[in-house]
A and B are shown apart, each in its own frame.
Chain A
Amino acid sequence: MYASGKYSSRGPALIPRMKTKHRIYYITLFSVVLLGLIATGMFQFWPHSIESAADWTLDKRSVHDAPLVRLPVSSPIPERGDLSCRMHTCFDVYRCGYNPKNRIKVYIYPLQKFVDELGVPISSTGLSREYNDLLSAISDSNFYTDDVTRACLFIPSIDVLNQNSLRIRETAQALTMLPRWDKGMNHLLFNMLPGGPPDYNTALDVPRDRALLAGGGFSTWTYRQGYDVSIPVYSPLSADVELPERQPRHYFILSSQTAIHREYRAELERLKEENGEALLLLDKCSNLSQGVASARKRCYKGQVYDYPQILQESSFCVVLRGARLGQAALSDVLQAGCVPVILADSYILPFSEVLDWKRASVVIPEEKLSEMYTILKSIPHRQVEEMQRQARWFWEAYFSSMKAIGLTTLQIINDRIYPYAARTYEQWNNPPLAVKIVNSPLFLPLIPPRAPGFTAVVLTYDRVESLFRVITEISKVPSLAKLLVVWNNQNKSPPEESLWPKIGVPLKVVRTKENKLSNRFFPYDEIETEAVLAIDDDIIMLTSDELQFGYEVWREFPDRLVGYPGRLHLWDHEMGKWKYESEWTNEVSMVLTGAAFYHKYFNYLYTYKMPGDIKNWVDAHMNCEDIAMNFLVANITGKAPIKVTPRKKFKCPECTAIDGLSLDQTHMVERSECINKFASVFGTMPLKVVEHRADPVLYKDDFPEKLKSFPNIGSL
């Protein structure tokens, strides 16, 4: 675009020279017009390719080529910034609109160089390396738009990261020159070093109307909760130094800042006197040889230590306020996995809107500096370890680069605009650990009432006689609410209605389109109860008491699978893989779904949320649907299934075929394969092993049978 602009400017210059040669001139003119029309056409059809080509030329330019803007002395100055601003008063939410992705669009102004009337720039540094990184990261992110009309948030390219390098009044004037400024509405400024001597205000002093401020070093008096974003002060060291994990930590408390007020330093010295070697107090080095970066060294009594490496040697690291509340040292400390001890009264910790700092730091009032040692000693050791991990993770995710800082800020603002799609506490605060953190939506300890009963879902193919017996048996269970027969045979119609057993509850038949095992776990609309009893069409040995008791146990554990025969997975050390174990073990990690109670929610999960290709794999192999269900439930709840009653296998006279299969060696091999396959898809082994089963309270007790609620519990 820039190049074509140049070309067009040459056009008018040609005209006067060709005054006399009209014809040639006409031809030139027409060809130029034609060219123009072609070019227009190109704009219509390939707008993007042209734009990016134009960008590329822009990119080639250096910062010094940024267009110069002269600020008239009289140009307006924005208002100071309204402390009562909140999203609902100072932010125009209509610009963000409703969008299915729930993501705000961010526009970045192109770089301009602002100078006053005498040609003196408004900033001594101009665009800093960090701000360049920040804006570039945002422009590469999903938030970015180059269409100013669609943007919901605007970021000026005027660098205000460090107030010290700014001319306050002129910077403010430059802001008002921005074409979409509109009283700072929906504009975001990034500042890390606010204030200046002698008072050091805790927020940027540049008047900025309604603009949002992402500031490092807010105090509770300048921070507009829910409007501003508190950000860290970036430490440039982190780009240079890598601090791989290291143990052990020799020191208990380390103080490494160089600009500590003498009052506080004296107090720290006193602590050191009392507690000796556990504390290490470092200061800047006075006599370093030439060429050594003073930022990378610290000293104690002439002994030189490498910074920030030394931070890794301590459990806790002091981060004291300086003239400013926000300290770059915090970032170094976190990077070293040292738990920051923050002594900065009224300081708003970075990203405190979303980060739970209690899990990664210790905040102590400045007044209690002298009690620091006792306070820190009272923290349980296991907690310190967790805090160290958490500190390190906070740094990696939110502090490590300008990109991390910038995108976190935008995400926080995004979460405010689309709160119903906001990232959760867990997403913000839980490190992506190897340990699986369970998070089931059914977490409430709720014992559902008995009354609605359960729906029995019988999967059948063509064993009608056996099916009818099962139906008759189950219909005797008091809490049965409905019976659903899943007819999985497409070649044969179910028997006529008149032939079905007459039972006291509604009976429905669902015909499936394909003979798939997963049909048994489909969340049919016909299932109106929470509790589902999945049962095979040959399970006739379970007594009515046994089933009713199973339902009662399910009510106490509605988020688990409650079944009869239990199975176990074992690690085969020789083969180096998982093995399936069927009977006579003292432990249980799965229950068979040939007869099992579970929540209908798991039907929905099985059908729609089963990870990987497990569902299709099960349908293709016509096996292991029960193992898959056990994996699924254990994975989301982190809990073991409940095996009820002594039942060890489903034995029945008629179904020797199935039983024969169960005993078959190849069957066992196949089941073992399933476990290994599922474990690899889940990326972990979610199954939990337990050594107990549930029996009625008075089971096998020396007590009159007729007084027992469930006297008829079958045997093996």
Chain B
Amino acid sequence: MQAKKRYLTLFSAGACLILLFCFGGIQVPLSRKGPSRRDDRSLTGYHPGARWRRFSASLQPFSPWEHDQSDSHNEHISPRQKRDAISGVYTGKRCRMESCFDFSLCQRNGFKVYVYPQQKGEKMSESYQNILSSIEGSMLYTPDPGQACLFVLSLDTLDRDQLSPQYVHNLKAKVQSLHLWNGGKNHIIFNLYSGTWPDYTEDLGFDIGLAMLAKASISTENFRPNFDVSIPLFSKDHPRTGGERGYLKHNTIPPYRKYMLVFKGKRYLTGIGSDTRNALYHVHNSEDVVLLTTCKHGKDWQKHKDARCDKDNAEYDKYDYREMLYNSTFCLVPRGRRLGSFRFLEALQAACVPVMLSNGWELPFSEIIDWNTAAVIGDERLLLQIPSTVRSIHQDKILSLRHQTQFLWEAYFNSVEKIVLTTLEIIQDRVLQHTSRSNLMWNSLPGGLFTLPQYSTYLGDFPFYYAKLGVKPYTKFTAIVHVVSPLVSQSQPVMKLLVVVAKSQYCAQVIVVWNCDKPLPAKHRWPVTSVPVIVIEGESKVISSRFLPYDTIPTDAVLSLDEDTVLSTTEVDFAFTVWQSFPDRIVGYPARSHFWDSNKERWGYTSKWTNEYSMVLTGAAIYHKYYHYLYTTYLPASLKTMVDQMSNCEDILMNFLVSSVSKLPPIKVTQKKQYKETMMGQSSRASRWADPDHFAQRQTCMNKFASWFGTMPLVHSQMRLDPVLFKDQVSILRKKYRDIERL
């Protein structure tokens, strides 16, 4: 019996165990799909498989209405005191604009930048020289420290690698001795390299105090958001101004190139940054994923050489970097010694979509650029997944990523000047918070440097975003007539012109810019028109005043006219309907062309009738009012003064400006007669076209402008836009714009 009892107990215990297995048993590893990685601490009531379900019972709200009231119990803390307290607490690594920047300096004169005078005997790298001269040439520059809101050192801080020949010693003492230093407040320090072998820290080797950093390869850990600016690493050969265009010329369909993913670079056998590059060979397949590394760099690479070095080096030499760069869909950008590498800008320019593999790198201009639209941001921890990730990217997405690389490259990266101006504009946006650029302005054509929020913060006021917003420009225009000769008779061309233009159904207003030395004629001497005619007397009587952004322009479109222009109402109407399709370009009548004169090694200007043109003169052209603002504020005083002194070339300059923004040619519309050429014989005293020097001047202008822009922005076109039924052999009654054909 005893044995039986014992047997029974054992048996029943076993049975119970089985039962428990069956019913409570899904916790047991056996019934799991995979082994669990960690042991679950079993807790009362905890069921790993339990679903969360809504509780239907009535629950309390998380915050009773009284909470709002309870806020007010703290009235004793004055917000003003709180603000003052901030600046004492949050300094150093916790600096923000609110705590380390003095906004009051920017209040009086706006956002102006001062550059310290260069000290004699102080060595300075070419790159830093370029940075300083870019600032000095920009519209933000002021030579007066009393007006400045931001200060830039003339001490070269770009290379803070102690082993580098460019390293500037005793920076600490030199900085402290600057009497405007003020603990670094409102200063910005540019830096490309920091730290040295083996750990490459981000320390600059001197106390930057409250200064902002514009630094390459900055890590998210050290990056002070909305205070520092992450800039790209650029080589010493990076052009100061102008800059190369992107390499994308074709949009092949399907968009895949010969290689899917490539990389060619050094592998580090020791020290920081080795891990990722050491692992690249796992992914290399020598077909469409070609990731090459070499150990052959530095003095004693042989000493540290590992088992794979020889094989890697051999493979490395088989491929040409340039060839791979131009023929790959994606380019890997793994961290080097520092987080950023030259590969980044190279890939961007080559329209090879960068695949970032540098965890913790605060990407260049991350504050304003949405990098997901131009790059693939990978995770070093998931290196082995990278090939399948890039293969999964849809071809439409590849096309748009590729286009965005080109846009960003040309908008912010292709010259030192753009990099520096972008940095300054980012800071300006922070300072003038309520007139700052929206994300769309930074991330779509033509980019933030051409979109000035001081003009307007509304996207629909610019010529660039109509399609993006789904809106249309205002359907009327304002005519601006530039008058330089006195009013002597009612039969003067300008009188006819005013009447004709005002008759256009699209004309909202006529503005006469009176740039004549004679006093303003009496009001009754101007023709009577159905639209208001406003006469503005140019104060300094300079030619640039025709391009001032007058507040009295109520429309988006401006029809710019010379006083001796001959046009018919129909022509004006037609040109305006065409402009509505191309609001970001100049649309007009008289066309000119430029060419490269290889004998004289300079640009040439021609007014001859040719099969192509690259400029439409502003003696009779429609364009967006915003270009008046750009002309006045974006262009440097040197060019504008030159134009004013000669009273010439303002139209060429406008064409340079618009084409550099739009990257497209202007549009010529059909005209009834030959323009200007027929006018030349007339006895208009002030006709500047009769002047023999006139032409030579325009030649000179072309070259001056091209050198300031750093490139030739003008683009040729071979077509002209005519009304659909232009000169067709059908009844004239069918035609809407019949006057254009009547001679």
Question: Is the Cβ of A586 less than 8 Å from the Cβ of B725?
Answer: yes
> Contact flags (1/0) for B467-510 with A, using CB distance below 8 Å?
11111000000000000000000000000000000000000000
User: In the complex, A99→B677 CA distance in Å?
Assistant: 69
> Contact flags (1/0) for A214-234 with B, using CB distance below 8 Å?
000000110001100000001
Given contacts A136-B54, A356-B440, contact A130 B61 (CB under 8 A): yes
Pick the residue among A43, A86, A530, A584 that contacts B26 (CB under 8 A).
Answer: A43
User: In the complex, A558→B104 CA distance in Å?
Assistant: 50
Question: Is the Cβ of B79 less than 8 Å from the Cβ of A263?
Answer: yes
Which residues of A68-99 have CB atoms within 8 Å of chain B's CB atoms? 68-69, 84, 86, 88-89, 93-94, 98
Question: Is the Cβ of A588 less than 8 Å from the Cβ of B225?
Answer: no
Which residue on chain A has the smallest CB distance to residue B54? A136
Q: Which residues of A contact B71 (CB under 8 A)?
A: 259, 322-324
B543 to chain A, nearest CB (A): 28
Given contacts A263-B78, A437-B468, contact A220 B96 (CB under 8 A): yes
| Stretch of B170-178, B455-463, B681-689 that contacts chain A | B455-463
| Stretch of A272-280, A615-623, A691-699 that contacts chain B | A691-699
Which residue on chain A has the smallest CB distance to residue B389? A420
Given contacts A693-B722, A697-B613, contact A441 B399 (CB under 8 A): yes
B345 to chain A, nearest CB (A): 18
Q: Which residues of A contact B359 (CB under 8 A)?
A: 88
Question: Is the Cβ of B467 less than 8 Å from the Cβ of A638?
Answer: yes
> Contact flags (1/0) for B706-743 with A, using CB distance below 8 Å?
00000000010111111111111110001111000000
Pick the residue among A125, A198, A346, A447 that contacts B60 (CB under 8 A).
Answer: A125
Pick the residue among B98, B382, B467, B577 that contacts A220 (CB under 8 A).
Answer: B98
Which residue on chain B has the smallest CB distance to residue A601? B253
Which residue on chain A has the smallest CB distance to residue B718? A552
Q: Which residues of B contact A144 (CB under 8 A)?
A: 52
User: In the complex, A587→B38 CA distance in Å?
Assistant: 72
User: In the complex, A540→B591 CA distance in Å?
Assistant: 34
Question: Is the Cβ of A358 less than 8 Å from the Cβ of B730?
Answer: no
Given contacts A84-B221, A125-B62, contact A98 B382 (CB under 8 A): yes
Question: Is the Cβ of B45 less than 8 Å from the Cβ of A110?
Answer: yes
User: In the complex, A380→B33 CA distance in Å?
Assistant: 61
User: In the complex, A425→B385 CA distance in Å?
Assistant: 26
Tell me which of B37, B51, B72 has the highest count of chain A C-beta atoms within 10 A of its own C-beta: B51
Question: Is the Cβ of A68 less than 8 Å from the Cβ of B52?
Answer: no
Which residues of B9-61 have CB atoms within 8 Å of chain A's CB atoms? 11-12, 15-16, 18-26, 31-34, 36-38, 40-61
User: In the complex, A445→B58 CA distance in Å?
Assistant: 59
Which residues of A98-144 have CB atoms within 8 Å of chain B's CB atoms? 98, 100, 108-112, 125-133, 135-136, 138-139, 144
Q: Which residues of B contact A84 (CB under 8 A)?
A: 221
Question: Is the Cβ of B440 less than 8 Å from the Cβ of A345?
Answer: no
| Stretch of A154-162, A497-505, A508-516, A671-679 that contacts chain B | A154-162
Q: Which residues of A contact B36 (CB under 8 A)?
A: 149
Given contacts A323-B74, A363-B434, contact A386 B16 (CB under 8 A): no
User: In the complex, A149→B40 CA distance in Å?
Assistant: 11
| Stretch of B156-164, B420-428, B663-671, B696-704 that contacts chain A | B663-671
Question: Is the Cβ of B591 less than 8 Å from the Cβ of A697?
Answer: yes
Interface residue? A660 (CB, 8 A):
no
Interface residue? B522 (CB, 8 A):
no
Question: Is the Cβ of B457 less than 8 Å from the Cβ of A365?
Answer: no
Interface residue? A575 (CB, 8 A):
no
Interface residue? B406 (CB, 8 A):
yes
Given contacts A55-B51, A444-B407, contact A386 B460 (CB under 8 A): yes
Question: Is the Cβ of B43 less than 8 Å from the Cβ of A112?
Answer: yes
Question: Is the Cβ of A67 less than 8 Å from the Cβ of B60?
Answer: no
Q: Which residues of B contact A375 (CB under 8 A)?
A: 434
Question: Is the Cβ of B60 less than 8 Å from the Cβ of A128?
Answer: yes
User: In the complex, A258→B57 CA distance in Å?
Assistant: 32
Question: Is the Cβ of B734 less than 8 Å from the Cβ of A584?
Answer: yes
Question: Is the Cβ of B69 less than 8 Å from the Cβ of A449?
Answer: no
Pick the residue among A63, A420, A643 that contacts B377 (CB under 8 A).
Answer: A420
Q: Which residues of B contact A288 (CB under 8 A)?
A: none
Pick the residue among A139, A234, A701 that contacts B609 (CB under 8 A).
Answer: A701
Question: Is the Cβ of A586 less than 8 Å from the Cβ of B723?
Answer: yes
Q: Which residues of B contact A112 (CB under 8 A)?
A: 43, 45-46
Question: Is the Cβ of A39 less than 8 Å from the Cβ of B458?
Answer: no
B347 to chain A, nearest CB (A): 16
Pick the residue among B23, B388, B663 that contacts A8 (CB under 8 A).
Answer: B23
Which residue on chain B has the smallest CB distance to residue A239? B61
Question: Is the Cβ of A12 less than 8 Å from the Cβ of B55?
Answer: no
User: In the complex, A346→B98 CA distance in Å?
Assistant: 7
Question: Is the Cβ of B726 less than 8 Å from the Cβ of A695?
Answer: yes
Q: Which residues of A contact B727 (CB under 8 A)?
A: 646, 700
In the A-B complex, the 8 residue pairs with the smallest Cβ-Cβ separation, listed nearest first, are: A67-B45, A435-B470, A383-B458, A136-B54, A128-B62, A88-B359, A441-B399, A441-B400
6 additional A-B residue pairs with CB within 8 Å, beyond A40-B22, A558-B251: A55-B51, A63-B55, A126-B59, A162-B62, A259-B69, A446-B249
15 interchain pairs (CB within 8 A)?
Answer: A22-B8, A33-B15, A43-B22, A88-B379, A89-B360, A179-B48, A383-B457, A422-B372, A441-B400, A444-B407, A448-B250, A588-B724, A639-B581, A695-B670, A710-B611
